[in-house]
Structure formats: C-alpha cells, structure tokens
Structure 1
Amino acid sequence: MKLNEIKQLLPTLENVEFVLENGTSVPEHFHVTEVGQITKKFIDCGGVIRTEKTVNFQLWNADDYEHRLKPSKLLNIIQLSEDKLGIEDAEIEVEYQSETIGKYDLEFNGKHFVLKNKTTACLAEDACGIPSQKPKIKIGENTTSCCDPKSGCC
C-alpha cells in the first residue's frame, strides 16, 4: 500500500485497526511512534547499484490502555511528516515489535490494515545462475549419461 492510498482511506474509517497476517490483532492501544521515509542504497549480488525508498510507520504498544489512535490523528501525523520531512508517495513498510522488530508490508482488507509478512528475494537471478525452474529429469530416460558403464568415466 502506498502512502497516497492510506491517506484516501483514513477519512472513511471510524477506527484505525491493525492485524497481523495470521489474524492476531495489534492491541488497540498502539501508538504510531514514527512516520518517515527510509532510503536504502545498496548493491545486489549481480553488481547492480539500487536505491529503494519506503515510507516507514513504527507501531508501539504502551501501557496506556485507554489510548486510541483515531484516523484523523494518523492523517495529521502523515501530513505533518510530508510537510516537515518532504516524504514522497512510496510503499509503506510497518515496523512492529513481536518477538523482535518485524518489518511488514501493508494492505487493507476493508476493515483492518493487515501487516503482511515480507520475504527476501534475489534481485539478480540471471547473474546468480539460479534457474527459474528446476529442470525435470526422468530417471532412466537419460541415455547420454557420462556415467554409462561403457563411457570410460567410472
């Protein structure tokens, strides 16, 4: 989900509710402690220099159980970060503490913002020599094996 999308959704909601992809709810007394933009400049395993920009939200649970973040308040925080930090419309990445600090993609399911599990991937598969699909070989059909008893390799 991009920043522009959440800004359009927030005015239509009564509450801001987050759930993990497995259905576990983020406690309703969470705080958004950071909104910012992260720029990551790196080189992939194929030697290509890359730059990624994401908008970062950090969720935190405090002991103030009466706290409830309203959509208008979150929208104000976002607008302030745009004005003061100049953040761009980019994909949102959410940091949330469970066993360790996790980073999640963000989706909306019609009622809740869903923290989607992120995965790693190779960005230069062609340079790594990783086949896109594992070749399918049927045993017994390969008649040109170098290990044929008459090939002299054994």
Structure 2
Amino acid sequence: MMKLSEIKKHLKNMTSVSFELEDGMRVPEHFHITEVGVSTKDFIDCGGTVRHEKAVNFQLWQATDFEHRLLPDKLLDIITLSEKVLGIEDLDVEVEYQLNTIGKYGIAVNGNKFILTSKHTACLAGNVCGIPEDKQNIPSAAVNTVSKGSCTPGGGCC
C-alpha cells in the first residue's frame, strides 16, 4: 500500500500516468479516474472487535474515447481539489478497477508506472477463533457439518 503523499510525489516526476496489474496486464492508456474520495468501513470482526478502516479511493474506468490520456498534472489537480473539498488526509490508497467485476487493489510503483497489487481476505481475530498459524485446510464436507452457534477453537467458524 502507498500513502496519498507517495502517489503525489511520484506523479510530480512522471511524464505519463499508467497502471498495470501484477500479472503484467496493462490498464488501457485511455483510462479515466472517475472518483477520488475516502472510503470508510466500520465493522465488527468474528472475534467481536470493533474496527474502523479509512482509505483514499481512486476508481479507474475506461470508455470508448481511445484518444483520452490522463496526464500527471491533471491527476495532481484532481487530488489537490479532493484534499481541499473533502478534507482528505494522507491515507493509504486503494484502487477500484473493473475486469469481470469491480476489484479493489492496493497500489505500488515500479519505475514510471503504478502497479495494482492484489488484496486478500484474512481472519482478523485468529487468536480468538483458534486459527493455527498455517492456513488450515478443512474439507468442505467438514465445514458443512458445523452446527449453528458452535464457534469454538478448531470449529471452522471463521
């Protein structure tokens, strides 16, 4: 993950803005950034801990205007306006980009391009649920036999 300040620093040294997935697939050059905002998530994990997450969100989108190019200065202007109007803080940046469905990515930089990095789900309360350090492989038949309300260490509830 990168902070918004890091993105801005890199943009100041770039002549073009490009995004690529970790597997090398490029986001088409005619992409738009349709949103710059803040996403807030308040939730309770499976161990009962209340959590609060906040991140800057960019949404990438592509249309049929194949000649469109978003230049670094224009993106910096959009970010600056968003910081001013929305009071955006220097938070981690997440990027939404649609392939088959809308995906949520982290962001890194490699030379003169931004890399959309994979994000993964995880149990946030492994110490409460009894999840072992190594990922536990439970046959799906065993998961289906867990009775309602039986969230115990090793019970496979989360």
TM-score by structure 2 length?
0.83
Q: Deviations over 1:12-59 (max 9, x none)?
A: 000000001110000000000000001100000110000000100000
User: What is aligned with 1:30?
Assistant: 31
How many pairs were matched up? 135
Task: Give the direction of change, closer, same or farther, for the CA distance of 1:133–1:102 in structure 2 (3 Å limit).
Answer: closer
| Percent of residue pairs bearing the same amino acid type | 63
Q: How does 1:1-154 map to 2 (within 5 A)?
A: 1-133=2-134
2:104 partner letter: K
- Unaligned stretches of 5+ residues in structure 1: 135-154
Q: Equivalent residue of 2:17, what SS? A: coil
In structure 2, give the amino acid aligned to 1:99: N
Q: Distance in 2 between matches of 1:39 and 1:88?
A: 12
Whole-Å Cα distance in 1 between the matches of residues 101 and 95 of structure 2? 13
SS of residue paired to 2:88: coil
Aligned to 1:141: none
* One-letter code aligned to 2:33: V
Where in structure 1 do 4 or more consecutive aligned residues deviate above 3 Å?
Answer: none
CA distance in 1, matches of 2:105, 2:59: 10
The one-letter code sitting in structure 2 at the alignment partner of 1:2 is: K
Counterpart secondary structure, 1:80: helix
Give the SS at the match of 1:52: strand
Other structure's SS at 2:68 match: coil
Deviation of residue 133 (structure 1)? 3.8
Give the deviation of 1:9 after TM superposition.
0.8
Q: What is the TM-score normalised by the length of structure 1?
A: 0.85
Taking the aligned partners of 1:25 and 1:80, their CA distance within structure 2 comes to 27
Distance 1:113 1:41 in 2: 28
Q: 1:92-129, CA deviations, whole angstroms, 9 ceiling, x for partnerless residues? A: 10000101100000000112100011100111110011
Alpha-carbon distance in structure 1 between the residues aligned to 2:54 and 2:5: 14
Counterpart CA distance in 2 for 1:54 and 1:4 is: 13
Letter in 2 for 1:11: K
Query: Which structure's CA Rg is the greater one?
Result: 1
Report the AA paired with residue 10 of structure 2: L
Name the CA distance, whole Å, in 2 between partners of 1:133 and 1:10: 39
